[in-house]
Structures are given as structure tokens and as C-alpha cells.
Amino acid sequence: MPNIASAKKRTRQNEKRRTKNQAQKSAIRTQEKKLRVLVAEKKLDEAVKAQSQLISLVDKAAKKNLIHKNAASRKKSRIQHLIKKGAAAPAA
């Protein structure tokens, strides 16, 4: 436990930032799970809307360095591929 006032303040700031970052990462994971369920249930119209929301969350997280820009790009690519694969499945 810090004794110096500035160290105490830094501890408070770190805790606030950690909880906020944790919530944003959790929101991304939750949205991705919802998207995967929609694709599995063949609800492609809803999945496309969920996809745009997820891409927005991922871009914001990458902009704030919450996740690495390449990780964000990879995640977006994978969900776009998932949607495309889900849309092609009924036609095959």
C-alpha cells in the first residue's frame, strides 16, 4: 500500500482505468458471442447489424490501444469471413 499521496492517487487512477478497460474488452467479447449465435441460427440480417456494432467496438478499442491494431484487424477479418461463410452456406 502506498504512503505517498501521488502514489495513492496513481493507484486510484490505475484501478479506474483497469475497470473501464475490462468493461470494454468484455463488451467486445459479448458482442462477438452474440454475432456467432446469430450466424449459427442463420439470422443474417441481424448478424450484419451486430457485425457493424462489433467492428465499431473493436476499432474504438484499437484506437485507444486497448487491443493491438493487428489484433483488431484480425478479429474484424475473422468476423467478416464468418458472415460471408454463413451467407454462402444456404446457397451451397
pTM of the model: 0.86
List pLDDT tens digits, range 5-23.
999 999 999 999 999 999 9
Predicted pLDDT of residue 92? 45
Residue 88, pLDDT score: 84
Where do we find the cell 473493436? Answer: 58
| pLDDT above 50 for 3 | yes
Amino acid at the residue 43: K
Confidence (pLDDT) at 86 = 86
Q: What domains does the chain contain, in order, with CATH numbers?
A: 5-88 (1.20.58.110)
**Residue 8 contacts residue 2 (beta carbons within 8 Å):** yes
pLDDT at 66 over 50: yes
DSSP sequence for the chain:
---SHHHHHHHHHHHHHHHHHHHHHHHHHHHHHHHHHHHHTT-HHHHHHHHHHHHHHHHHHHHTTSS-HHHHHHHHHHHHHHHHHHHHTTT-
